[in-house]
Amino acid sequence: MFTTVSRCCATLCLDGVTVVVLLRKEEIVRIVADLEVCQSFALCALTAPEVYSNDDDGYVIAPNGDVAPELEGPALEGARMCPVKALRVE
């Protein structure tokens, strides 16, 4: 049984046979929202409601920190729709 370790590779010795296992690097998606730039158009949340929402004044509420890799597509699409480029996905 193998234990998954992100950002690493492992060398195992099984019955005298050396096996090199390359483990896929775990991708981390991070959203940076610039609230000084956000103009509360809400296009991000309309495009990707699973990632973005808006506060009562319409300003973006982005996930605080990292988001799941499977949300990278919606996160990028929502950021792309922002007319003032207030969102950056890293």
Helix (H, G, I), strand (E, B) or coil at 80: helix
The site map against ligand SF4 for 64-83 (x = CB under 6 A) is ------------------x-
Residue 87 touching ligand SF4 (CB under 6 A)? yes
Residue 51 touching ligand SF4 (CB under 6 A)? no
Residue 86 touching ligand SF4 (CB under 6 A)? yes
Residue 49 touching ligand SF4 (CB under 6 A)? no
DSSP 25: P
Which H or E run contains 6?
A: none
Rounded CA-CA distance 9/47 in Å is: 37
Measuring CA to CA, which residue among 57, 46, 56, 54 is closest to residue 81? 46
Q: Which residues bind ligand SF4 (CB under 6 A)?
A: 38-44, 54, 60, 82, 84, 86-87
